[in-house]
């Protein structure tokens, strides 16, 4: 009886030791590789979706900020009874594919700033340069942004009074002006300003990955229209 009990105890002890050894052994290499493969697949599938969501948030946030900036420019012109100029800066970023930081023509329209003209006719910054979020640009083509790219509109070279954070003096800009009456005018290549036609008073923001100077809107964009009579900005989203 004792012998049988002892044998049974030994079997149970050996079984327990074996179970503990198996538990201590952990996962096999094959199991680990399977888990890593699953994680990589999930990451590959989720990354584009997450990136798209982040860029969409940036686009909407940038559009709201630009509308507020244009509204501030309008209010400043009326309140201070002076001409306010809104400038849209084009510049290239170092390390960005296809762009040369020394050549603004290879870059994108990525920033905005408002100025007021004092009694001496000198443009004085009303605000700091407002950069668009990474991955978001103003379309520079006449189809989506006629406010920037009218066939007779003037593109100005960098001025000594403004040095951009990521471009220094390597930039160009397009502009429109707001009169105290609210009338919105755009600079022409002749050096004069003319009132904007209603259909040519808009500018469009979209993702950098969509390209530039597009002939039609991408799937996700925001168009901002400036009323040529009152200078009131309003955004339109798909």
Establish if 205 belongs to a structural domain.
no
Residue 47: predicted pLDDT: 61
Establish if 202 belongs to a structural domain.
no
Task: Quickly tell me which residue has 């755009």 as its tokens.
Answer: 186
Establish if 227 belongs to a structural domain.
no
First to last CA, the chain: 86
How many domains are there within the chain?
Answer: 1
Which two tokens mark 73?
A: 């420019």
Establish if 2 belongs to a structural domain.
no
For the whole model, what pTM was predicted? 0.77
Establish if 192 belongs to a structural domain.
yes
Establish if 220 belongs to a structural domain.
no
Q: What range does the domain containing 124 cover?
A: 31-137+150-196
Q: Are 87 and 175 in contact (CB under 8 A)?
A: yes
CA atoms within 13 A on the CB side of 196: 32
Rounded Cα gap, residues 222 and 138, in angstroms: 10
pLDDT tens digit at each of 238 positions of the chain: 555 555 555 544 455 555 555 555 566 777 777 778 788 877 666 566 666 777 788 899 999 999 999 999 999 999 999 999 999 999 999 889 999 989 999 999 999 999 999 888 888 999 999 999 999 999 999 899 988 876 556 778 887 778 898 889 999 998 889 999 888 888 776 777 778 776 678 999 999 999 999 999 999 999 999 998 899 999 998 8
Establish if 45 belongs to a structural domain.
yes
Residue 121: predicted pLDDT: 85
């Amino acid at each position: 009886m004792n012998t049988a009990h002892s044998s049974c105890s030994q079997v149970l002890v050996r079984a327990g030791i074996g179970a503990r050894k198996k538990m201590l052994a952990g996962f096999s290499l094959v199991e680990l590789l399977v888990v890593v493969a699953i994680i990589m697949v999930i990451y590959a599938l989720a990354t584009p979706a997450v990136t798209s969501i982040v860029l969409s948030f940036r686009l909407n946030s940038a559009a709201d900020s630009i509308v507020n900036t244009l509204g501030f420019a309008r209010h400043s012109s009326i309140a201070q009874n002076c001409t306010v100029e809104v400038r849209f800066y084009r510049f290239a970023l170092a390390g960005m594919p296809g762009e040369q930081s020394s050549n603004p023509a290879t870059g994108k329209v990525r920033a905005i700033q408002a100025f007021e003209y004092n009694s001496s006719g000198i443009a004085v910054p009303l605000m700091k340069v407002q950069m668009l979020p990474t991955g978001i640009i103003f379309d520079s083509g006449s189809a989506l942004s006629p406010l920037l790219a009218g066939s007779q509109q003037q593109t100005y070279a960098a001025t000594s009074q403004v040095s951009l954070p990521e471009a220094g003096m390597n930039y160009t800009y397009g502009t429109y002006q707001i009169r105290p009456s609210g009338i919105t005018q755009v600079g022409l290549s002749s050096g004069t300003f003319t009132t904007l036609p209603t259909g040519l008073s808009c500018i469009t923001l979209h993702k950098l990955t969509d390209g530039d100077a597009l002939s039609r809107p991408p799937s996700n964009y925001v168009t901002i229209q400036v009323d040529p009579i009152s200078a009131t900005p309003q955004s339109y989203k798909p």
